[in-house]
C-alpha cells in the first residue's frame, strides 16, 4: 500500500483509513483486505464468501467511515466489526487527532473532542469529570507536566489528547504551552513511525503533514513555533524523567 498524498480533507480521511486497515491486518495476521473481510465474516458466522468491501479501502477509493457534524463520525461499520475481534484497533479511526489536524475548533467543539477520549485522559484536560459534579465540565488550565502525563502511553487516543491540549493552549494564546504540546505530538508520531514497520511510510507522511501545519500557522510578531530534532530529543528525556519521578521521594523538576 502506497502512502497517500495529504492535500485535501478526503485524502486525510484515506490516510486515516489506511492506518486503521494496516493495523487490523497486522493484528489479524492476514495478507490482504479480502482475507481480512473473509475472516471478519467467518467470525461473525455469516458464511458470506463474496468479498471486496474492504478492497476499496486498501486501494484508496473510499474512507471506512462517514463524517458527522463536528469531530464525531458515523457509519463506522467495518471498524466496529473489527474492534470486536481485535480490541484497540477502533481508536485509530476514532481519535480526535485526525479532526484537529485540519480544524480550528472553538472551545465548545474542543470540549466535544475531549469527551471522545477515555476518562483517564480527560482528567488533565477538564476542570472535573462529568460524573463528579452536576456542573458542566470546562476545559482546565494546563499544568506544566500535562504534555508528559498525556503521553504516558503511546496510543492513538493519547495523540488525540495531546492535540486537544495544543489547541486549548492556542485558544488561550499560551504559545509556550502550545509549542510544548506540538513537540510532544511530533515525538509521538516519530515513535509510531519507528516502531511500526509496515505503517512507517504512513506515519512519516503524517508527521511531515503535521510539521507543515505548524510551520504554516500565523503567530504574533516575535513568536515562532517550528522546532528542531534537538527539542524533540529533550522532550523525550524530560518525559522519561517525569515517568521515573517519585513525588514521595523527590521534588518536582517542573
Mean per-residue pLDDT of the chain: 86
The reported pLDDT for the residue numbered 158 is 97
pLDDT score recorded for residue 8: 62
| Below-70 pLDDT ranges, the chain | 1-9, 47-51, 222-226, 248-254
Q: Which three cell numbers stand for residue 174?
A: 499560551
Residue 150 makes CB contacts below 8 A (sequence gap 6+) with 121, 124, 125, 158, 161, 162, 165, 184
The per-residue pLDDT for 4 is 47
Cα separation, 137 vs 51, whole angstroms: 45
Cβ-Cβ contacts under 8 Å for 44 (sequence gap 6 or more): 81
pTM of the predicted structure, to 2 decimals:
0.89
pLDDT tens, position by position, 162-189: 999 999 999 999 988 998 999 999 999 9
* 3-state class percentages of the chain: helix first, strand second, coil last, to nearest 5: 55, 0, 40
Amino acid at each position: 500500500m502506497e502512502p497517500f498524498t495529504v492535500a485535501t480533507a478526503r485524502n486525510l480521511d484515506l490516510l486515516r483509513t489506511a492506518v486503521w486497515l494496516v493495523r487490523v491486518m497486522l493484528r489479524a495476521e492476514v495478507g490482504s483486505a479480502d482475507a481480512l473481510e473473509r475472516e471478519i465474516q467467518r467470525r461473525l458466522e455469516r458464511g458470506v464468501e463474496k468479498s471486496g468491501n474492504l478492497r476499496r479501502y486498501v486501494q484508496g477509493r473510499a474512507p471506512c467511515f462517514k463524517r458527522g457534524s463536528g469531530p464525531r463520525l458515523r457509519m463506522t461499520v467495518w471498524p466496529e466489526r473489527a474492534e470486536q475481534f481485535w480490541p484497540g484497533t477502533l481508536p485509530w479511526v476514532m481519535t480526535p487527532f485526525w479532526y484537529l489536524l485540519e480544524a480550528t475548533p472553538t472551545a465548545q467543539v474542543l470540549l466535544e473532542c475531549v469527551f471522545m477520549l477515555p476518562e483517564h485522559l480527560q482528567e488533565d484536560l477538564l476542570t472535573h469529570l462529568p460524573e463528579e459534579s452536576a456542573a458542566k465540565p470546562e476545559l482546565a488550565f494546563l499544568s506544566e507536566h500535562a504534555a508528559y502525563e498525556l503521553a504516558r502511553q503511546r496510543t492513538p487516543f493519547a495523540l488525540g489528547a495531546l492535540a486537544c491540549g495544543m489547541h486549548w493552549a492556542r485558544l488561550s494564546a499560551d504559545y509556550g504551552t502550545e509549542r510544548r504540546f506540538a513537540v510532544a505530538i511530533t515525538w509521538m508520531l516519530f515513535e509510531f513511525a519507528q516502531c511500526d514497520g509496515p505503517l512507517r511510510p504512513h506515519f512519516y507522511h503524517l508527521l511531515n503533514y503535521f510539521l507543515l501545519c505548524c510551520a504554516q500557522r500565523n503567530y504574533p510578531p516575535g513568536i515562532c513555533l517550528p522546532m528542531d530534532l534537538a527539542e524533540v530529543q529533550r522532550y523525550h528525556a524530560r518525559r522519561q524523567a517525569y515517568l521515573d519521578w517519585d513525588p514521595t521521594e523527590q521534588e518536582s523538576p517542573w
